[in-house]
Amino acid sequence: MKHFLLFISLIVLSSSLWAVPILNPENGHYYESISTAINWATAKAAAESMSYLGMQGHLATITSLSENSFITSNLTFSGYFLGGFQAPGTAEPLAEWQWVTGEAFTFSYWGSGEPNDSGGEDALHFRADGLWNDINLVNTYGYIVEYDNMMPEPSVCILFLLGLAGYALRLRKSTK
Ligand SMILES: [Ca+2]
Ligand SMILES: [Ca+2]
C-alpha cells in the first residue's frame, strides 16, 4: 500500500513537472519545446519517435506567420531547432530550404542578415525573438516538436460514416 501511494504521488508529481503539448486551435496541431540539447539529426529522430493523443511528432514546421506567433507566445524556448534544413550542395545561403514533412517552404521568417551560412549552416534555428537563423547541424540545442493528426479529418470521418449508414439503409430496403 505504501508503495502504491508512493507510485501515485510520483505520477502526480511528474505530471506537474512535465510540460504538456499545447493545442494551436487554428490548425489542431499540438506543440511542445524540449530543452535537452542535441544535434539536429538526433533531434529530428527524437521528435519522430514521439507521439501525443495518437498524433505523430516531428520537428516543428512553420508555414505561416500566425503559426510562428503561436509558438513564440505559447512555448518556452531559447534558440531551438525547427524541422527546416538545407540539402548539402545547394546554392548558399538561401536555396532549397525544405521541411522534414515535405510541406512547401513558402513562408519564411528570417532574422536580419539570415540565412548567412556562416561557417556552413544547414539547419533551421528558431531564435528566442521568434525570428529564424540558419545554424550548423552539429551544434546542440533544444528543439520544438509539432504533433499532427495523421488520421483523416473529423469532417471526412463523419462524411464516411454517413455514407456507410446510407449504404446500410439501402441494403436493408433492398433485401426487404
Ligand atoms: Ca546553408
Ligand atoms: Ca546563420
Sign of dihedral through CA atoms 69, 24, 106, 142? positive
pLDDT of 154 above 80: no
Alpha helices (runs of H) in the chain, residue ranges in sequence order: 2-17, 40-48, 65-74, 154-175
* Residue 77 pLDDT > 60: yes
Of residues 115 and 168, more confidence is placed in 115
Cα of 39 vs centre of ligand 1, distance in Å, is: 16
Backbone angles phi, psi at 65, to 5 degrees: -65, -35
Residue 122 placed within a domain = yes
The Å distance, Cα 17 to ligand 1 centre, comes to: 37
* Residue 97, CB-side half-sphere exposure with 13 Å CA sphere: 28
Give the distance (Å) from ligand 1 centre to CA of residue 56. 28
Report the number of distinct structural domains present in the chain: 1
* CA of residue 110 to ligand 1 center, whole Å: 13
Provide, rounded to the nearest whole percent, the portion of the chain with pLDDT above 90.
68
Indicate if the pLDDT at residue 161 is higher than 50: yes
Residue 16 in any domain: the answer is no
Query: C-alpha grid cell for residue 124?
Result: 533551421
Ligand 1 is an ion; residues with CB less than 5 A from it? 86, 92, 117, 121-122
What pLDDT, in 10s, does the model give residues 123-133? 999 999 999 99
pLDDT band for position 171 (50/70/90)? low
DSSP string, 127-140: -TTS-EEEE-TTS-
User: Rounded distance, CA 84 to CA 98, Å?
Assistant: 6
- pLDDT average, residue stretch 90-108: 93
- pTM assigned to the model: 0.75
For 23-39, write each residue's pLDDT tens digit: 999 999 999 999 999 99
CA of 155 from ligand 1 middle (Å) equals 41
Distance in Å, CA 153 to ligand 1 centroid:
36
Q: Does residue 57 lie in a domain region?
A: yes
Does the pLDDT of residue 16 top 90, yes or no?
no
Find the ligand nearest to 134 CA: 2
Assigned C-alpha cell, 21: 503539448
Domain assignment present for 51: yes
- Residue 37 counted as domain residue: yes
Examine residue 115 and state whether it is found in any structural domain, yes or no: yes
Q: Which ligand is nearest to the CA of 121?
A: 1
Out of 43-47, 77-81, 115-119, 159-163, pick the least confident.
159-163
**What CATH number is given to the structural domain containing 150?**
3.10.100.10
First to last CA, the chain: 61
In a domain, 2, yes or no: no
- What is the extent of the structural domain holding 152? 22-167
Domain for residue 1, yes or no?
no
* pLDDT at position 10 over 70: no
Helix, strand or coil for residue 149? coil
Cα 53 to ligand 1 centroid, rounded to whole Å: 35
